[in-house]
Structure 1
Amino acid sequence: MIQILDSSVTSRTRKPEWLLDYDQLRIMEYLARSPDVYTYPSLDQLKFESKLRSNIVAAAKKLDRSGTQFAVFKDSRCNPRYWTLTDEGGFRLNKDVEPSEAIRDIFINGDMYAFECATAVVIVYYKGVLESIGSENFNRLFPSILLFDGVYDEKLGITWSENVEYLPGDVQYFKNPEYNPKTPEWQGENVVLLENHLYFAYGIGITTKKQIIAHLNKERIPGATTSAYLLDKAARPDFAYLSQYDKKSNPLAERTVSERSFTIAHIGTTLYVCR
């Protein structure tokens, strides 16, 4: 269930008036179907989270089709026009390029790039945020980017939460406790949760939980008895903070909480807005 504390929503508000595309509406329906209550100070913040989650999912799917290759850090590569390859196998943004162009290049010239799964989910986050706030705001927020082993800019506000309801756009982790030391890259797998219980697992593909576990179990030490498993936690960006950079939103209005509250509930195939 979704609760909104903002007079911008009325009992006559209808879905077409929210200007959401199909994928964003599906994210909102995931939230509305939940038995948990998701509270937002405004409809704009709810719409932004739906948009960002949708764009993270879209970025994961695009990266899967981009032509980039899975590689351990020592074999990483990138387009030198936009990035400098560090000694550790990370990508440091060149000073003479716009961050938005550099991120988009990964999806355009994918055959020039190779990296592992922790870097992949960082790229997915940046691409999702870029498409949500636009190039100008993105370039201002992230003037210097390092893509390496789960390194995030603090402005993304990435936090891990345990024992929560997992939603499309969340990043999760499969742990492989008895991995083979000869292939340490398979000690686990960072994934992006998509729709319909599917995951984007870089180096494996878009697939199910069962298939990811099966893949990791093939990379265990001989005689291993402990299966790989999905950790009960998820990483998410700071949707509220990033929403103030949504070019379609009014940052001041985002912070105004009125005395009137509204609830969005999902019943059957319909979203209802009520006081």
Structure 2
Amino acid sequence: MIQVAGRPFSQENAGDFGSVGHVILQQMLESPELFAYPSMNGLRFDINMRIHILDSSKEMNASQVTFTTFEHAQCNPAYWTLTYAGGFLLRNDVRPSEAILDIYRNSSLYAFECATAIIIIYYQAILKSIGSQRFDTIFQNLYLYSWHTDPNLELNSFYSSNRFLPGDVVYFNNPDFHPQTPWYRGENAVVMSDGMFFGHGFGIMTAEEMIEFLNTQRSPGSMQSAYLTNLITRISSQTMQMLFTLQRGRLIYRSAKKVVHHNLCSISCIDYQYFLNGH
């Protein structure tokens, strides 16, 4: 369900959200989860962000970026410094927006795992939503590694029995992954608008196809199938509100986040938070 300015949303006053936007809007209306916005523009910004997440996922799928482990990560040294842990640290002489766009423009120079892929998709979707000038103001010290994000990009991960929406990120878990291929412990995937999922290294496919492939990567004799969990990850509502209301050119100062170099590919956002909290 949707509330705008404290009142139930009326589709009669919605205007045109486009075909994909309408699918997202309809699923939000049918969801038992409450989506509350201070204005129609706030709702429209949220839906447009989800559309940009879908578009960025399709663009990554069509690109030449490859899936690899942190040990073999690659990036364009003209924009990023490759760290010992396999992360990409933004060079101080380039614009953050240009560095993110370069991953798509010169995709053959890049290789990373699926959690990093989700964060790159988020950054490009935000860039599409707010433009390069504001993006460069907000995200000045990018470091791409697993689920680590800039202080101004907060994520919300939670378990929910409700249906997920296009633009959400879900996790396919493979509890009996083969010890020789630990990067198949699971897959982070973007929910598309047509019942499909995008996972870096997998492509765009159905949930059944993702599970079927993960099941080929289990330990010998395993009887436990991979499965789609009910974990949902989204850009937090606080971040969405900040991005929507931020005045052009205003500099944001927030303390840097701790980063945990865990060296475990394809973990969920919840697992990364677990490491971050010292467990």
Aligned pairs for 1:181-192 (under 5 A) are: 181-192=179-190
Q: Partner residue of 2:205?
A: 207
Map Cα deviations across residues 114-148 of structure 1 (whole Å, 9 max, x no partner).
Answer: 11111111111111111111111111111011111
Contact 1:72–1:116 (Cα < 8 Å) also in 2: yes
Q: Separation in 1 of the partners of 2:34 and 2:57?
A: 27
Match of residue 168, structure 1, among 166, 169, 172? 166
Distance in 2 between the 1:153 and 1:175 partners?
26
Identify which of 26, 31, 44 aligns with 1:29. Answer: 26
In the alignment, what sits opposite 1:178? Answer: 176
List alignment gaps of at least 5 residues for structure 1. Answer: 251-275
Secondary structure (helix, strand or coil) at the match of 1:232 reads: strand
Cα deviation, residue 35, structure 1: 4.3
* Alpha-carbon distance, 1:12 to partner: 6.7
Instruction: Give 1:107-256 correspondences, 5 Å limit.
Output: 107-163=104-160, 164-246=162-244
Partner of 2:15: 15
Q: Describe the SS at the equivalent of 1:97.
A: coil
1:79 corresponds to 2:101? no
2:5: which partner in 1?
5
DSSP 3-state at the match of 2:167: coil
What 5-or-longer segments of structure 2 have no aligned partner? Answer: 249-279
8 A Cα contact 1:44 1:249, kept in partner: no
- The answer as to whether partners of 1:48 and 1:243 remain within 8 angstroms in 2 is no
Report SS of the residue matched to 2:13. coil
Instruction: Name the structure 2 match of 1:272.
Output: none
State the structure with bigger RCO (CA 8 A, min sep 6), 1 or 2: 1
Largest Rg, 1 or 2:
1
Residue matched to 1:255: none
How many residues align structurally?
Answer: 246
Identity %: 37
* Structure 2 CA distance for partners of 1:132 and 1:228, relative to 1, 3 Å: same
- How large is the Cα RMSD of the aligned pairs? 2.2
Counterpart CA distance in 1 for 2:11 and 2:129 is: 28
Flag the 1:85–1:233 CA change in 2: closer, same or farther, 3 A.
same
Report the CA distance between 1:239 and its aligned residue. Answer: 3.6
Q: TM-score, normalised by structure 1?
A: 0.83
Contact 1:134-1:247 at 8 Å conserved across structures: no
